[in-house]
Structure 1
Amino acid sequence: MGPFHRDAMAALKDVFDVHCFHGHGPFERYAKHVIQEGLLEMRKELGITMPWYANETALTSRGGVTEKMQAEALYKKLLFSWSRGAIGYTWYNMRSKGELPDDGEHNYGLMTWDFYPKAVYAAYNGLTGLYHDKDFDRACELPWGEWAFIFKNDHELAVALWNDGEADVPRVFRTDAAAAASVDLFGNRQELPVVDGTVLVTTTNEPQTLLLSGAESAELLPPLSSFAMPELLLPGQPQPMAVVLTNPFGDARQATVKLTLPPTVAASQSQFSAQVAPHSQVEFAATLTLTAAPANSLGAKEWVMAEGQLAGLEPVRQLHLLPVPFLFTSRLDGDALFTLADHTKITQLFVGDPAKEDSTWKGAQDLSAAVWLAMDDQALTIKVVATDDQHWQKNTADQRSWDGDGIQLFLMPSGMPSAVEMDFAREEDGRSHVFLRRLPLGVMGDEAALQLATERAGTQTTYVITVPFAAIGSTAEAFGRGFRFNLMVNDADNGIREGWAQVAPGIGSGTVNTQIMPVLLAQ
């Protein structure tokens, strides 16, 4: 929460009847940082008891956000807000304000500017059709990033389900339902079998509703199968994996596990079978080893298909895409590790806007960058030489350096649950600005230990950034096992942010997609 919001509510908490709140952006950031760690913590700290209302809370379908992603955001943000006590939710807005594809204000609507319904309009219809006559009952206990919210009326239960990861997650509910169906984002139904009072449903990143007709109860059971895969695959180094199968029934069942692998991945054991006692579990453990050479391109992955089955039930399959690290030579000179100089590495904010033609990217001389990395047993050093025809940075005072020229750095060492976000900028007078913007929950950092040296010569700005491992709550050992990395070079001329150069996709839209951040390993 910003200081104005906090100060205003502290002074006026006894004046308002409803605490209205705006929360634009993607679901993951909204749920964790804006609501759970922001709004709700602030209300608790200030003793605010009036109901809260998400009265303008949406996501624009631009900047890498597809219309389907926008539709999913409505579904997730509305139901999450409801589960956290919101008395209402208003999407901004009904009709988009204009037709420019790269203007955020022109792409919020449920319908286009000329009244064609978007995917988010269909999702809204699906939501209202299912939930208009129901009350929130409870949230199932699940790890953060996996969601199950139960709603009810006098004749059925609706369980909203999704997870924030890449892999499908099978879940089992014990229920007294007469029938069950899975209802997708847009209201399409698929019947599901009820076997011995249990229903198996597979959750994905796309939200769905498990509809339990004639039900008065729904109990989330331990996962029928859980797949623990390694963070990444390393050449010649076995990495542990495990599959756990749970028998929720009152009789013993046969459990089987099968791994299907490409020629480039070897498993210590690929098939397993065992008898599982009633209400018990069995674990299958193995190791996976990359038998091919390390990746020679960013974002490389290998696949592993894992299948688990309990007798009497359909098999549960998960396709896992495991990162293969990109090996780099530790150095700050010679050939750059990354060169950001063509349109595939540039995001422009004013494409197709004739009034902003002067702010469109004109080529490498307008914005480009070269990036080097060096790592020792204490720190990671990043050198960026940015070519920019005009250096402009006057937004550091309120921690908005991203709205001027500068660097945004994203690091996620092995074992860290989410990315560390840092801002580095050269101010107009040459002073260095450093801001540790975000750490994973529970991780302690030290902003003062982050280092930045800059130099401006002609149209080039050189940034040398030093990130001690301890400054972001990590270790040399964790970085030595591989780390996810991304970086963006922001460009603003005369106070207008024009776009940025980036190493890889997944950043710049208000959230960080850690699943597609490249994995690097120093050789």
Structure 2
Amino acid sequence: LSFANFTLDEYVELQRVFYESAKKAAPDTVVLTGGFAGLKMSPKSTAHPDYFREAVHRGKGYFDSIAFHAHGKMDSYIYQVNGMLDAMRDFGLEGATWYSNETSWPSIDNRQREQAELVWKKMLYAWAKGAIAYNWYDIRNDGYDKSYTEHNFGLIDRDYYPKQAYVAYNAVVQTLKNGTFVDEYDMPNGYQAFLFKNQAGEFILPSWSIEHNAPPKFIAIAGIKESATIIDLFGNEQTLPVANEIAFLEVDAPKAIRFKKQSQRPIIITNLLETPNSISLAPDAATTFKLLINNPTKQKLDFTLGTNKHDEIDIKPDKPQTVTVEPNSTAAIPFTAILKNKDSSSFNQTITGELAITGTNPQNWTIPVARKIPVGQNYREGKHDFVIDDKSPRKNLVVSAPHLAHLIWSGNDDLSGTVAFAKENKAFKIRVVVQDDIFRQKQDNQNIWQADSVQVAFKLPNQNIPWEIGFALNENGSTQKHIWYAPSGFNIGKATKAIEVIAKRMGSKTEYNVTLPFDDFGFTDDILANGFPINVLLNDSDEDQRDTMMAIAPGLGWGPKEPHKYPVIYVK
């Protein structure tokens, strides 16, 4: 039937007729649903906005297993699989199974490593979530164009040579063939770990970061009674150093730990070393922070803790320290940090170091560092705090094709801007001046991002998620404003009404002056004095779609939302 757009009535009737006919002919036949291409689809591509849930609900009793096609990166795969499982629970489909019978990721633009990692992640996640089988799309590349998605889904290339994904697939099979799933570990957000047993009855513990190339998460594995080995993405195996029944592990790219002669379930300790999520450094003062070393075992442990030398940050103490931590106790180790170069324009750095238990290899730890930037004076003087230009993060959203070449960003005259912030009369002020050679805004409400507009994201202390707001100047001179995300406890409608937007077009520039009242967004004088992360994104549309995004910093507009990558500002 290929791709189809049946109405729900037509689909359910087709499913019923097929099920009854198949069972009559062969009662043991396992009948699948049609292959659902994800949880949700564009209204233009489906006969119902919630087609999947309605179809499995109304088709209950006419299938044994759900055929589910979930593509995309790992975060999308998790979201879709979990949504499918929610539907199974909601509609009493516990007796049914599911089959991850199409999923993939292309190796375009030198992404072979990312594709290989997703083979591990998706296959093992599907297994852990009860899938009866798993299909990767597909075995062999469909062509030779390295930049064309459809030519690069294969585990082997067009000439039958194995790609990294093929080797990774073999590593999973060799490690876990005829194995069984045991349990899922509770891990920090963005990281996953599971426990399996192989056919020999040995515990196998695979782990990974959900995002490709995410910063490694430092954990410890306790309760190792004998020995353990570590198996990398491609099946290479080596001894894992163990001391006092504990081993260290950096959770990043997929890997697995194999425990030999182990009858008890290994324990994951995610808080052996607790570091701040991030720290902010002002150009005129030292910042103090603490690292916490936890010893959850029943024996005294000796740790070595040190920081690495940094070109732009002076950190004290700068020599490794030996720290003895009593059983079931915590030691707090203070550090101070100050910028060496007060005029540095770089606002994203990291402080790194090592931690080791005596007898184990040292493991790395990382703390993101944001340079605090004073704001307020430039706003009052008609100047700017930030420039968004050819040196800023940018994403082109149109394909590189001759007939679309005029939509590719061509320089600062095409799109760029300046940004300034201030505090004024219990309100937070934002001024954005956008250079844009072609002005276009025909969208409204939540869709303003598809045309010329500005998005602002900021994360205030003690708020669970960042605010994400937007504003635009219409072609008739009126303005629009919208809030996509707000922290818990705030009324989006009330906050939206409270936003004041004054905008004007001046030649090829558009100036926005925006006011956010303190009470409606959670600002206080102390918060503005101490600092918070903020980012600004410019959207550009020269024709009928958004063609370019540019931002002060990464983490907004494309990829995961990462406020720790935003510059931290404070009002002087």
Q: Which moved more, 1:451-460 or 1:146-155?
A: 451-460
State the one-letter code of the partner of 2:57.
K
Residues 178 and 199, structure 2, Cα contact 8 Å, conserved in 1: no
- Aligned partners of 2:105, 2:522: CA distance in 1, in Å? 32
**Residue 424 (structure 1) aligns with:** 471
3-state SS of the aligned residue for 2:124? helix
Determine whether 1:207 maps to 2:251. no
Q: Which moved more, 1:458-467 or 1:3-12?
A: 3-12
Query: How far off its partner does 1:139 sit?
Result: 0.8
State the Cα deviation string for residues 309-362 of structure 1 (Å, max 9, x = none). Answer: 3x4444444244433223334517623333333265543234642232222223
Q: Which moved more, 1:264-273 or 1:487-496?
A: 264-273
Query: How far off its partner does 1:396 sit?
Result: 3.8
- Aligned partners of 2:563, 2:106: CA distance in 1, in Å? 21
- Aligned partners of 1:424, 1:488: CA distance in 2, in Å? 11
- Cα 1:193–1:362 shift into 2, 3 Å: closer
Determine whether 1:355 maps to 2:403. yes
**Residue 296 (structure 1) aligns with:** 344
5+ long unaligned stretches in structure 2:
1-38
- Cα 1:302–1:9 shift into 2, 3 Å: closer
Residues 372 and 567, structure 2, Cα contact 8 Å, conserved in 1: yes
Residues 67 and 118, structure 1, Cα contact 8 Å, conserved in 2: yes
TM-score normalised by structure 1 residue count: 0.81
- Aligned partners of 1:106, 1:413: CA distance in 2, in Å? 45
**Residue 239 (structure 1) aligns with:** 288
3-state SS of the aligned residue for 2:50? helix
State the one-letter code of the partner of 2:257.
L
Residues 420 and 431, structure 2, Cα contact 8 Å, conserved in 1: yes
5+ long unaligned stretches in structure 1:
none
Question: In the alignment, which of 147, 151, 154 is matched to residue 192 of structure 2?
Answer: 147
Question: In the alignment, which of 546, 552, 561 is matched to residue 497 of structure 1?
Answer: 546
**Residue 72 (structure 1) aligns with:** 117
State the Cα deviation string for residues 178-201 of structure 1 (Å, max 9, x = none). Answer: 5422122232222214545x3513
Residues 294 and 327, structure 1, Cα contact 8 Å, conserved in 2: no
- Cα 1:138–1:370 shift into 2, 3 Å: same
Question: In the alignment, which of 181, 187, 196 is matched to residue 229 of structure 2?
Answer: 181
Determine whether 1:169 maps to 2:218. yes
State the one-letter code of the partner of 2:240.
L
Residues 29 and 511, structure 1, Cα contact 8 Å, conserved in 2: no
Question: In the alignment, which of 182, 206, 228 is matched to residue 137 of structure 1?
Answer: 182
**Residue 265 (structure 1) aligns with:** 314
- Cα 1:460–1:144 shift into 2, 3 Å: same
**Residue 145 (structure 2) aligns with:** 99
**Residue 15 (structure 1) aligns with:** 59
State the Cα deviation string for residues 452-471 of structure 1 (Å, max 9, x = none). Answer: 44334444333334445655
Matches within 5 A, 1:120-135: 120-135=165-180
3-state SS of the aligned residue for 1:75? helix
Query: How far off its partner does 1:87 sit?
Result: 4.3
- Cα 1:413–1:34 shift into 2, 3 Å: farther
State the Cα deviation string for residues 361-418 of structure 1 (Å, max 9, x = none). Answer: 2333322222222235744333222233333344546x44333332232323345565
**Residue 158 (structure 1) aligns with:** 204
Residues 275 and 367, structure 2, Cα contact 8 Å, conserved in 1: no
**Residue 408 (structure 1) aligns with:** 455
Residues 107 and 152, structure 2, Cα contact 8 Å, conserved in 1: yes
- Aligned partners of 1:58, 1:188: CA distance in 2, in Å? 24
Q: Percent identity?
A: 24
Residues 181 and 211, structure 1, Cα contact 8 Å, conserved in 2: yes
Query: How far off its partner does 1:202 sit?
Result: 1.2
Residues 26 and 510, structure 1, Cα contact 8 Å, conserved in 2: no
- Cα 1:269–1:359 shift into 2, 3 Å: closer
Question: In the alignment, which of 510, 531, 546 is matched to residue 461 of structure 1?
Answer: 510
Which structure has more RCO (C-alpha within 8 Å, separation ≥ 6)?
1
- Aligned partners of 2:71, 2:153: CA distance in 1, in Å? 10
Determine whether 1:325 maps to 2:372. yes
Cα-Cα RMSD = 3.9
State the one-letter code of the partner of 2:411.
G
Residues 367 and 387, structure 1, Cα contact 8 Å, conserved in 2: yes
- Cα 1:135–1:405 shift into 2, 3 Å: farther
State the one-letter code of the partner of 2:256.
T
- Aligned partners of 2:409, 2:243: CA distance in 1, in Å? 59
Question: In the alignment, which of 404, 411, 423 is matched to residue 375 of structure 1?
Answer: 423
3-state SS of the aligned residue for 2:281? coil
State the Cα deviation string for residues 48-81 of structure 1 (Å, max 9, x = none). Answer: 5444455554556679x95434443443344334
- Aligned partners of 1:303, 1:366: CA distance in 2, in Å? 37
3-state SS of the aligned residue for 1:413? coil
**Residue 534 (structure 2) aligns with:** 485
Aligned length in residues: 512
